[in-house]
């Protein structure tokens, strides 16, 4: 920070303290350091964190930022690990953390929606609905239950159930504009309109998109659609064992999604992605820097019963509907792999069996039981224990179980609870190009990216997420030892290369980390220019999240 900026920043902080109170600003110390990091290799250092408690406080902070021309970067919870967490594109931003605004303001059972503030988490909403409105389900991501429902939706994150396209399920936003006014999109309740949270388009230009992956406002409240609990539910595990079946299996899954047979996410992982979740059962931390050799990979897949590709989906409806869908699924998919359907009662029995076996592992009968289990189900007990977490995710029940992969290269083992990969110095980055949902597009991206993992000596970890029946995300994880500068440099170089390669092939990321935001829209100059014009009209001092998604440069 230069002296001129420092004095402006200090003057702004003095005024903001009068708004939120001294305790609601962090400028240094342990609490600052805990929030200022991410799992990605290098982040820009924020100047501080401020925690407003109301929309009025957010408005006042924005006005002060304009007066002193300091930049703000809003986050809801800041658990966006691997994409930058609670850090900005440029150093010196004041991070506006909205976690104290965490009220569930309304739940409408009849119309299946809620109105929430940005600090409401998946865990909180899920518990609240279970206790008060058990006939409604919310969606979840496979990341932390501490993530913000609104933050993820604004970032166009994806979940697991048929309501997994989170931005698509936002309806009715309240935002503080970069000049401090409060506005409601669409059929705003302030005009007496009754459809703010039920009619997404309202009347006139549709503007909600302005607040997604952008820097045009701070969203302080939103309507969010919920899923009526289905009459019955079944999860599906579909495993593809041979290379030649991967592309046809994906095409068959698309056909099922287009027909509406599969309406949930089609959440898939390659063998390495599953092995990384299981790493604590096999990884020798002293050899952590080496990627798995082919022999090691084969041996581990065999030991745990991990397939080449594993897909998880959910079926939701009346029992008759589910029966019909199961037979359609078998008809389309059984030629390409193995299918296992699980209902709640079946999963409860399996869970009981697994608990018994794991507590009796050291006894003779327990050891024989575990072997028998492996033979019958084709999975080791450790791997099968992932099943209930996956089954529940498809019902929108969050878990931190899957965050374990972030620790696969870390010197610190994942704690039993309270996982926080940024705090625990895990090295993790994501590259997430979106592709048209065909096996052929998948093959192009996989074959273009996998050799670069080999080149940079990293384990090729790919998962797939359904955006809609016509588009998929090929989400690639890069895991590295953060304390090792050479490995971190390789991870960074690999990430850069993956961005270059996929963009050159015409596949844009469905979301991006702050480190790759600056040049993000360079390949679409006309679009970038339009976004800049909008930005200047709405934020003449460029105080709000400058540089976010490549829009508007930093203005110190
Ligand atoms: P989560 O904690 O669920 O991962 P974050 O709070 O990290 O979500 O939000 C992800 C990104 O979305 C943030 O970096 C931020 O730029 C943007 N964002 C989050 N909440 C808001 C909000 N209320 N208004 C505007 N932008 C937001």
Q: Is the CB of 80 under 6 A from ligand 1?
A: yes
Q: What is the CA radius of gyration of the chain?
A: 24
Instruction: Provide the pLDDT for residue 280.
Output: 85
Assess contact for 44 and 518: CB atoms under 8 A: no
pLDDT digits (tens, 9 = 90+) for 127-156: 999 999 999 999 999 999 999 999 999 999
Q: Is the CB of 269 under 6 A from ligand 1?
A: no
Give residue 386 CA to ligand 1 midpoint distance, Å.
29
Q: How many angstroms separate the CA atoms of 263 and 140, rounded?
A: 15
Instruction: Provide the pLDDT for residue 412.
Output: 81
Average pLDDT score over residue span 543-552: 94
Assess contact for 526 and 495: CB atoms under 8 A: no
Q: How many angstroms separate the CA atoms of 423 and 144, rounded?
A: 14
Is pLDDT above 90 for 91? yes
Assess contact for 517 and 549: CB atoms under 8 A: yes
Q: How many angstroms separate the CA atoms of 421 and 406, rounded?
A: 6
Instruction: Provide the pLDDT for residue 374.
Output: 86
Cβ neighbours, 10 Å, residue 351: 15
DSSP SS3 for 519: coil
Give residue 171 CA to ligand 1 midpoint distance, Å.
17
Is pLDDT above 70 for 477? yes
Q: Quick one: pLDDT band at residue 554, thresholds 50, 70, 90? A: low
Q: Is the CB of 77 under 6 A from ligand 1?
A: yes
Instruction: Provide the pLDDT for residue 42.
Output: 86
Residues 6+ apart with CB under 8 A from 96: 50, 52, 58, 61, 72, 73, 74, 75, 218
Q: How many angstroms separate the CA atoms of 166 and 18, rounded?
A: 36
Q: Is the CB of 546 under 6 A from ligand 1?
A: no
Q: Is the CB of 76 under 6 A from ligand 1?
A: yes
466 strand-pairing partners: 472
Q: Quick one: pLDDT band at residue 362, thresholds 50, 70, 90? A: confident
Mean pLDDT in the chain?
A: 94
pLDDT digits (tens, 9 = 90+) for 382-399: 999 999 999 999 999 999
Question: pTM of the predicted model, to two decimals?
Answer: 0.95
Output the residue whose Cα is nearest ligand 1's atom 8.
Answer: 151
Give residue 61 CA to ligand 1 midpoint distance, Å.
17
Nearest partner of 419 among 407, 431, 410, judged by Cα = 407
Q: Is the CB of 89 under 6 A from ligand 1?
A: no
Helix/strand number for the chain, H first, E second: 16, 19
Q: How many angstroms separate the CA atoms of 373 and 376, rounded?
A: 5
Is pLDDT above 50 for 556? no
Instruction: Provide the pLDDT for residue 555.
Output: 53
Number of the ligand 1 atom closest to the C-alpha atom of 214: 26
Give residue 222 CA to ligand 1 midpoint distance, Å.
13
Q: Is the CB of 152 under 6 A from ligand 1?
A: yes
Beta-carbon-side half-sphere exposure of residue 159 (alpha carbons within 13 Å): 34
Q: Is the CB of 177 under 6 A from ligand 1?
A: no
Average pLDDT score over residue span 491-509: 96
CA distances (Å), origin 188, targets 173, 193, 222, 223: 9, 6, 11, 11
Tokens of 146: 């501490």
Is pLDDT above 90 for 286? no
Q: What angle do CA 441, 442, 445 make, to 5 degrees?
A: 85
pLDDT digits (tens, 9 = 90+) for 176-199: 999 999 999 987 777 788 999 999
Q: Is the CB of 222 under 6 A from ligand 1?
A: no
Q: How many angstroms separate the CA atoms of 374 and 389, rounded?
A: 19
């Amino acid at each position: 920070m230069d002296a001129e900026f420092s004095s402006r920043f200090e003057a702004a902080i003095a005024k903001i303290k009068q708004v939120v109170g001294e305790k609601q600003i962090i400028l240094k110390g342990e609490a600052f350091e805990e929030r200022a990091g991410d799992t990605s290799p290098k982040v820009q250092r924020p100047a501080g964190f401020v925690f407003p408690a109301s929309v009025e406080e957010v408005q006042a902070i924005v006005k002060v930022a304009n007066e002193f021309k300091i930049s703000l970067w809003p986050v809801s919870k800041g658990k966006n690990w691997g994409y930058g967490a609670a850090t900005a594109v440029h150093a010196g931003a004041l991070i506006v953390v909205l976690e104290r605004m965490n009220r569930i303001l309304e739940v409408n059972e009849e119309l299946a929606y809620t109105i929430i503030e940005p600090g409401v988490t998946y865990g909180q909403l899920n518990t609240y609905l279970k206790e008060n409105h058990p006939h409604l389900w919310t969606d979840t991501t496979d990341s932390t239950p501490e993530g913000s429902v609104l933050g993820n939706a604004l970032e166009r994150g994806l979940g697991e159930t048929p309501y997994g396209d989170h931005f698509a399920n936002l309806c009715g936003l309240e935002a503080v504009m970069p000049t401090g006014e409060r506005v409601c999109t669409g059929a705003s309740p302030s005009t007496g309109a009754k459809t703010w949270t039920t009619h997404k388009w309202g009347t006139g230009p549709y503007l909600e998109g302005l607040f997604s992956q952008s820097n045009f406002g701070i969203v302080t409240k939103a309507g969010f659609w919920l899923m009526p609990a289905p009459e019955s539910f079944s999860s599906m595990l579909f495993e593809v064992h041979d290379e030649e079946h991967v592309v046809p299996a994906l095409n068959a899954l698309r056909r099922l999604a287009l027909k509406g047979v599969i309406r949930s996410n089609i959440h898939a992982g390659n063998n390495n992605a599953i092995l990384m979740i299981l790493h604590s059962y096999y990884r020798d931390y002293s050899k952590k820097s080496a990627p798995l050799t082919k022999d090691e990979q084969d041996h581990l897949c065999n030991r745990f019963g991990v397939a080449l590709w594993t897909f998880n989906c959910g079926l939701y409806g009346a029992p008759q509907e589910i029966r019909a869908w199961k037979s359609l699924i078998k008809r389309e998919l059984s030629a390409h792999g193995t299918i296992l359907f699980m209902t709640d009662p079946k999963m409860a029995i399996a869970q009981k069996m697994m608990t018994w076996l794991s507590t009796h592992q050291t006894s003779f009968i327990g050891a024989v039981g575990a072997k028998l289990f492996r033979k019958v189900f084709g999975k080791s007990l450790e791997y099968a224990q992932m099943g209930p977490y996956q089954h529940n995710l498809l019902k929108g029940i969050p878990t931190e179980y899957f965050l374990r992969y972030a620790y696969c290269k870390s010197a610190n083992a994942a704690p039993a609870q309270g996982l926080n990969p940024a705090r625990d110095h895990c090295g993790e980055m994501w590259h997430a190009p979106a592709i048209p949902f065909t096996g052929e597009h998948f093959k192009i991206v996989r074959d273009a990216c996998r050799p670069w993992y080999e080149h940079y000596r990293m384990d090729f970890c790919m998962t797939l997420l359904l955006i809609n029946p016509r588009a998929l995300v090929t989400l690639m994880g890069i895991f590295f030892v953060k304390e090792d500068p050479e490995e971190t440099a390789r991870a960074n170089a690999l990430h850069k290369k993956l961005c270059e390669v996929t963009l050159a092939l015409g596949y844009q990321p469905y979301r991006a980390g702050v480190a790759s935001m600056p040049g993000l829209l360079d390949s679409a100059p006309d679009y970038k220019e339009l976004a800049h014009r909008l930005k200047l009209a709405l934020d003449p001092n460029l105080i709000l999240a400058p540089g976010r998604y490549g829009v508007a440069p930093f203005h110190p």
